[in-house]
Amino acid sequence: MDSKKTTDDSAQAPVSFATNILPLFRAVDIQHMKPRGVLLSDYTWMSTPANAQEVYNYLTGDSQPRMPIGGPYWNAAQLQLFKTWTTTGYNP
């Protein structure tokens, strides 16, 4: 009998707002959007499904102007991370 423990890749920590999503927004993006009522650094605001979807649409360019204004735009991995956060329960 093999006593070695195997690792389970599916046991990875869930995507969280504080650890994974918030750091993707630059301070300038947060400051720029706040006066417009878009609270990128506020978990309660961001975890509202309609708000998260609106932000996602601007990040992907489905809504214009694409965020962040002037780029650099988020890459596919960053967009997928955000999408995973929204589809797995908006973990704080």
What is residue 61's predicted lDDT score, i.e. its pLDDT?
97
Q: Cβ distance 52 to 86 under 8 Å?
A: yes
90 phi and psi angles, rounded to 5 deg: 55, 50
What is the mean pLDDT for each group of 10 consecutive residues in the chain (92 residues)?
Answer: 44 90 97 96 98 98 94 97 98 98
What is residue 74's predicted lDDT score, i.e. its pLDDT?
98
From CA 87, how far away is CA 15, in angstroms rounded? Answer: 10
What is residue 12's predicted lDDT score, i.e. its pLDDT?
77
What is residue 11's predicted lDDT score, i.e. its pLDDT?
61
What is residue 13's predicted lDDT score, i.e. its pLDDT?
83
From CA 68, how far away is CA 65, in angstroms rounded? Answer: 8
